């Protein structure tokens, strides 16, 4: 029998770990797994906050029983309807037919669309409250963080925020559940990867949600993925991280170089640029082969660091296909506030310069030049140009001057 895991008095964790699934949303690798978090509040009324992937409904039910025994559940709060969190709702309704489901008007439509549920739904509006005994549930609608129905639930008496997917992270919970029981540092890069790939497009709605909650006293953040945040230092860190990421601010000084290469010539350009940047004082340099590194890792690093340089051979009079896909993903996420440059290779006709230019003209970047165009292979002239590009980018990063989107810097 599972032993109930109490986060604080009358607040229990009943989430599950998934160390089986290879891809989150069938897209993003899960080398360290992922958790689906759910919570029970025991009061005069019993409240379940969010559910888990239906694949784990048997484990989930045993955990619920370990807390409640044969007691019924009065309310299920649905902060987010994505199936990894709502997948067990239909199963719960069958086991607890009198349960009332709490959500907003968008939630109501999705409950019917996904699970055919139209009864026992309590529709709440922004800032509505529900008394459950000693505690009160306050509902804060946070649309497009990162679905239209997303909301957060706050208990002022516990100073606890149930944040939905916000402040979540990839990575299963290895033994502990709270930040006090785990090593939170090991989740930082996975939080950045989670945010940049899953939520990254929705910076403005995240900023609106943070503003809405800025005056709320929070001692505990219960996300739907990853650790439960209970220590002031860590709560401050994860909120600050989300604030910076949603404003598209780089987190650290550094350079990401991403290249595609068919036969190794464009790859050698990347190596020269990276070496030059290192020789000119840049220590955080990450080089990605777009054909080998997963896009989620590349996107994470571009969100993380101040500058990135992309390189591609001309391929069928376009960019290398994986590079085209990456640029599309960055454009889709509204990335801005980065130092940017590019390089390309070709055999008889260059398409890279024109298409990289078309990309950056849509973005709010500061352009660092001169871009490098290599015909066929790396000769002495191109070697010098690549070295100069690495130095120019390093000098710009080392200058400490404020970034100026759409400014073009050439030395």
Residue 297 tokens read as: 């890792």
Angstrom distance (rounded) from CA 323 to CA 291: 9
In the prediction, which pLDDT does 407 show?
A: 65
Report the run of H or E that residue 232 belongs to, with start and end: helix 232-246
**Cβ-contact 360, 310 below 8 angstroms:** no
Residues 219 and 257 in one domain: no
Give yes or no: residues 151 and 16 share one domain.
yes
Closest by CA to 200, choosing from 105, 289, 341, 298, is 298
Same domain, 152 and 34: yes
| Same domain, yes or no: 21 and 159 | yes
203 plus 310 within the same structural domain: no
pLDDT for residue 11: 98
Six token digits for residue 283 = 């220590």
Query: Which domain covers residue 260, as residue numbers?
Result: 253-410
195 and 139, same structural domain? Answer: yes
Q: What is the β-pairing status of strands 75-77 and 46-49?
A: parallel
- Count of the separate structural domains present in the chain: 2
Tell me, what's the pLDDT at 409? 63
Helices (H), 247-363: 265-279, 295-304, 321-332, 352-360
- Asked if 196 and 280 sit in the same domain, the reply is no
pLDDT value at residue 177? 97
CATH of residue 167: 3.60.15.10
234 and 257 belong to one structural domain? no
Same domain, 145 and 257: no
Cβ contacts of residue 152 below 8 Å, gap of 6+?
A: 79, 139, 140, 142, 161, 162, 163, 164, 166, 209, 213
| 4's tokens | 């109930």
Q: Which pLDDT tens digit goes with each residue over 256-266?
A: 999 999 899 99
Domain stops at, among 202, 220, 246: 246
Report the pLDDT value the prediction gives residue 1, as an integer from 0 to 100.
Answer: 63
pTM of this structure: 0.94
Contacts of 41 (CB under 8 A, 6+ apart): 10, 11, 12, 47, 49, 132, 135, 155
Residues of the chain with pLDDT under 70: 1, 406-407, 409-411
Are 196 and 283 within one domain?
no
Does residue 289 share a domain with residue 201?
A: no
Tokens of 50: 């969010």
The counts of H helices and E strands in the chain are 12, 24
* Structural domain ending residue among the three candidates 195, 217, 246: 246
Given 194, 221, 246, the domain boundary residue is 246
Q: Are residues 40 and 175 in the same domain?
A: yes
CATH number of the domain within which 398 lies: 3.40.50.360
């Amino acid at each position: 029998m599972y032993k109930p895991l109490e986060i604080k008095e009358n607040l229990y964790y009943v989430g599950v770990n998934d160390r089986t699934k290879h891809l989150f949303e069938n897209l993003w690798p899960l080398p360290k797994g992922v958790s689906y978090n759910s919570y029970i509040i025991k009061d005069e009324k019993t409240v379940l906050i969010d559910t888990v992937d239906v694949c784990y409904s048997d484990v989930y039910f045993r955990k619920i029983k370990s807390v409640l025994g044969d007691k019924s559940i009065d309310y299920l709060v649905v902060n987010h309807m994505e199936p990894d969190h709502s997948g067990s709702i239909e199963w719960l309704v069958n086991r607890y037919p009198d349960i009332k489901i709490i959500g907003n008007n968008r939630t109501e439509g999705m409950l019917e669309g996904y699970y055919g549920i139209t009864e026992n739904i309590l529709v709440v509006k922004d800032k509505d409250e529900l008394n459950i005994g000693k505690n009160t549930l306050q509902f804060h609608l946070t649309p497009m963080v990162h679905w239209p129905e997303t909301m957060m639930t706050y208990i002022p008496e516990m100073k606890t925020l149930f944040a939905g997917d916000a402040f979540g992270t990839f990575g299963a919970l290895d033994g502990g559940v709270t930040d006090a029981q785990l090593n939170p540092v090991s989740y930082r890069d996975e939080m950045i990867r989670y945010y940049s790939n899953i939520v990254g497009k929705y910076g403005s709605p995240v900023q609106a949600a943070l503003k809405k909650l800025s005056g709320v006293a929070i001692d505990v953040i219960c996300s739907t993925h990853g650790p439960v945040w209970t220590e002031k230092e860590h709560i401050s860190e994860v909120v600050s991280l989300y604030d910076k990421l949603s404003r598209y601010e780089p987190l650290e000084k550094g350079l990401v170089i991403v290249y595609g290469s068919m036969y190794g010539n464009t790859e050698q350009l990347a190596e020269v640029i990276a070496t030059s940047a290192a020789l000119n004082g840049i220590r955080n340099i990450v080089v990605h082969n777009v054909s080998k590194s997963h896009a989620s890792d590349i996107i994470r690093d571009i969100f993380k660091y101040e500058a990135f340089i992309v390189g591609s051979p001309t391929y069928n009079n376009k960019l290398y296909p994986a590079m085209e896909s990456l640029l599309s993903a960055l454009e889709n996420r509204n990335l801005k506030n980065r130092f940017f440059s590019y390089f390309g290779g070709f055999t008889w006709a260059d398409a890279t310069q024109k298409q990289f230019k078309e990309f950056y003209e849509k973005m709010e970047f500061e352009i660092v030049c001169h871009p490098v165009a290599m015909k066929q292979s790396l000769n002495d002239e191109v070697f010098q140009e690549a070295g100069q590009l690495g130095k120019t980018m390093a000098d710009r990063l080392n200058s400490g001057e404020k970034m100026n989107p759409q400014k073009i810097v050439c030395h």
